[in-house]
Amino acid sequence: METKHEPEKFIVSIGPQHPALKEPGHFEFTVDGEVVTNATARLGFVHRGMEKGTEARNYVQDLYLMERVCGICSHVHAMAFALGAEKLAGVQAPPRAQAIRELVAELERIHSHLLWLGVAAHEGGFDTLFMFSWRDRETVMDLLELISGNRVNYSANVLGGVKIDINDTQRDALHKGMDFLEERTHHYMKVVTEDETFLGRTRNIGLMTKAQAQLLGAVGPTARASGVKFDVRVDSPYAGYADFPVKLITEPAGDLEARFVVRINELYESYRLVREIIDHLPEGELSVRMPRRIPEGETISRVEAPRGELLYFMRSNGTDSPDRVKVRTPSLCNWASVLTLAVGHKLADMPMILAGIDPCFSCNDRMVTVNRGSNAENWSWEDLRKYGIAYYK
Amino acid sequence: MNISINPIVALLIFPGGLCLLAYGLVYEFVDRKLIARFQNRVGPRWFQPLADFIKLLAKEEIIPASVNAALFIVLPILALAAALTAALYVPMFGLQPAYSFSGDLVVSLYLLSLMTLCIGLAGANTGDRFSLVGATRALTQLFSYEAPFLLAMLGPAIALGTWNIGTINSAAAHSWWFMITQPFGFLVALIGLMGKLELPPFDAPEAETEIVAGALTEYSGRGLGIFHIGRDIELVIGLTMISSFYMGGLSSPLDFLWKTLVLLLVTALLQSLFARLRIDQTVGMWWRVGTILVLVQLLVIIGGQYLAPLIKPLIGG
């Protein structure tokens, strides 16, 4: 009887279908009792071939496609694409358009952060906060509907400007909405920094030092909660951020509580920006003429999505459709931090640590590189479609 | 109030059996509705728990391949039976308990714990990861709240010198509410009941964002429905016991109604106020705070009983 007994690993696999996950992803947590000893992630369940899709469409159509990369931060994707295309074409959108782009981006940040606050609270079993923050989020959803006609894909951008304008009734509604939300946000700030049971779930949980955050390449509020001073809006202002600058918000602590505090402080900053923009909206045109064919060239367009730095690489070949569009979403940068932080924590902390980076699965599942050894293949849109049909048959 | 009821009727229809099932569903509705209103939601309609129950009974019951099928089927029934049996020893609806003997307090507390044991076993019976983690947590939680809860329920019993629920109930009506004289015991009993029923914030054993439905993940259809209604009944029994012990006894149906509903309101408030506790936090809280509080109180009660005869002549009582 010389059988060697490996200590049996108890793996709790979460997903692709699991109540904690609002979108499909697969995680395997190796646990020892309640303590997590290893964590792995498998992504790509909602790959939709969008990057490849852009090559088969022209720039105007692509704008609508890219707006649908993410359901929560739809505007920043369209804005990043439009800014990139404008840079390639050598066109500058008028100041009023840039300001409105920033306005919608900040409203979107408000809605995204409030949504995150609710989801994170729900992951921690605090459903009351979830219900309240989502109720208040309706305010900003209604405001977005008021100014753009849509609650989710606002479709505010066109190439060369924006298609929506702000009138006086909308300005008043925005002011009223911001006042209401600011008052509510004071309350949420109090809850996340003072509620004992909630602090028990967030304080000193998922601790990430500044050095770790930089090493793991974290971006956005996740990195800023560890004291990393990095915000694309501040470091390389785009759209209207040069005229209406934003204050950089960081927290030194690096735990889950800091991630809550950073996002709530960003909410205050967004309320301030929205007020400032609608009060000092530059006069002028909403859009300029954009050529259909965009001259050859390549560019990188960076914007700060609610979750962090969103990067678009675009290469044009002189035709009316791009040669290559590569999207790198903030969630992708933050995964490494989750998997590293998970080790040593309790299984019960996993949902909150996972939610702490505000993950967005659909955002980062787009293109899987098919690179089998030496015969790297270049797939056409049609090939990809056929592969997809065969794969899921 | 003392009405003599035919034992068969008492067992099957009133106050046990059917009537209790209906009452459990009503209290589940009140609980859900209150929490919904506290959370600024609309909440369910009055027949929703009944509709859920009927729907679950009508659904197919899937028995996983890896389980012991007999155990899988028997456990929910055992849990429900235990809860229903416990109801016979407590003053349901403010009436005298249907049955009683001199140590029935211990028996009913044991019957109430059987539910958690059944849930733990049900989880351990299936090979599912979520069920196993849920079962471990359910049993861990059982070991943390059970002792303080038991001690808290013994407080009034020791003070009144009887371990018979019916006697405690009628005697409690003639003294100060124990809620005032034994505040720690009341608090621990109420929160212990929430732990027993795995209500938030003690819902770690069935934390949906971590382990889906905990020990009951593999249950579907009839088994799940029976577990649910068993828990509803346990809620009613728990509230009845605490209000009869700590809120001056239950002498009439009206008394029963308002006292249990007030308690339910308080538990609903507590449920919506807090974030879920991790299992280690739950255990820590019970052993570091709960147990010590009730132990101190028990010592005071016992000490008081020894000292009272000595002091009485001195103060001329």
Kindly list the domain boundaries of chain A, sorted by start residue: 47-330
Residue B6 CB-density burial (10 A; 0-12 exposed, 13-18 middle, 19+ buried): exposed
Residue A116's nearest CA partner among A356, A351, A332 is A356
Chain B: give the shortest CA distance to residue A280, in Å.
37
- Taking only the tens place, the pLDDT of each residue in A50-99 is 888 888 888 999 988 888 888 888 899 999 999 999 999 989 889 999 99
Report residue A237: phi and psi, to 5°.
-60, 135
- Taking only the tens place, the pLDDT of each residue in A205-227 is 888 888 888 888 888 898 999 88
Least confident of A180-189, B59-68, B169-178, B246-255: B169-178
Q: What is the pLDDT of residue A379?
A: 66
CA angle A302, A95, A250 (to 5 degrees): 45
Strand locations in chain A, DSSP E? 10-14, 26-32, 35-42, 157-158, 161-162, 297-305, 308-316, 322-328
Are residues A127 and B40, on separate chains, in Cβ contact within 8 Å? no
What would the mean pLDDT of A160-169 be, rounded to a whole number?
Answer: 89
User: Closest to A131 (Cβ–Cβ): which among B41, B204, B278?
Assistant: B41
- Stated as kind and residue range, the H or E segment containing B168 is helix B165-172
- Taking only the tens place, the pLDDT of each residue in B180-234 is 777 888 888 888 888 888 888 888 888 777 778 888 888 888 889 999 899 899 9
C-alpha span between B94 and B243 (Å, rounded): 10
Closest chain B residue to A202, measured at CA: B275
What would the mean pLDDT of B158-176 be, rounded to a whole number?
Answer: 79
Averaged pLDDT of chain A? 85
Residue A46 CB-density burial (10 A; 0-12 exposed, 13-18 middle, 19+ buried): middle
Share of chain A above pLDDT 70, in %: 93
Q: Can you tell me whether residue B171 is helix, strand or coil?
A: helix
* Substitution target from B276, B280, B285, B289 for chain A, most A beta carbons within 10 A: B276
Residue reference for tokens 């050598």:
A90
Please report which confidence band the pLDDT of residue A37 belongs to, taking 50, 70 and 90 as the band edges.
confident
Residue A33 has pLDDT above 60, yes or no: yes
Share of chain B above pLDDT 90, in %: 8
- By DSSP bridging, strand A297-305 and strand A161-162 are unpaired
Show residues of chain B in contact with A195, CB under 8 Å. Answer: 274-275
Bridge partner list, A305: A308
Inter-residue contact A23 to A362 (CB < 8 Å): yes
Bridge partner list, A299: A314
Share of chain B above pLDDT 70, in %: 94
Residue A5 has pLDDT above 60, yes or no: no
Chain B: give the shortest CA distance to residue A199, in Å.
9
Give the contacts of A67 (CB within 8 A, at least 6 positions apart).
Answer: A74, A75, A77, A78, A153, A155, A157
For residue A298, give Cα distances in angstroms to A86, A295, B49, B299: 12, 10, 61, 80
Report residue A344: phi and psi, to 5°.
95, -10
Helix H segments across B247-290? 253-273, 279-285
Please report which confidence band the pLDDT of residue B317 belongs to, taking 50, 70 and 90 as the band edges.
very low
First to last CA, chain B: 32
Averaged pLDDT of chain B? 83
- Taking only the tens place, the pLDDT of each residue in A293-330 is 888 989 999 999 898 888 899 989 888 889 888 888 88
Q: What is the pLDDT of residue B184?
A: 81
User: Closest to A351 (Cβ–Cβ): which among B38, B203, B210?
Assistant: B210
- Count Cα atoms within 13 angstroms, Cβ side, for B239: 26
C-alpha span between A305 and B71 (Å, rounded): 53
What ipTM was assigned to the predicted interfaces of this complex?
0.80
C-alpha span between A9 and A313 (Å, rounded): 42
Are residues A124 and B275, on separate chains, in Cβ contact within 8 Å? yes
Show residues of chain A in contact with B39, CB under 8 Å. Answer: 127-128, 131-132
The model's pTM is: 0.84
Question: Is any Cβ of chain B less than 8 angstroms from the Cβ of A197?
Answer: yes
Are residues B38 and A128, on separate chains, in Cβ contact within 8 Å? yes
Name every residue in B having a CB less than 8 A away from some CB of A.
Answer: 38-41, 129-130, 133, 200-201, 203-204, 207-212, 272-281
Under CATH, which architecture does the A47-330 domain have? Orthogonal Bundle (1.10)
- Taking only the tens place, the pLDDT of each residue in B291-310 is 888 888 888 888 877 777 77
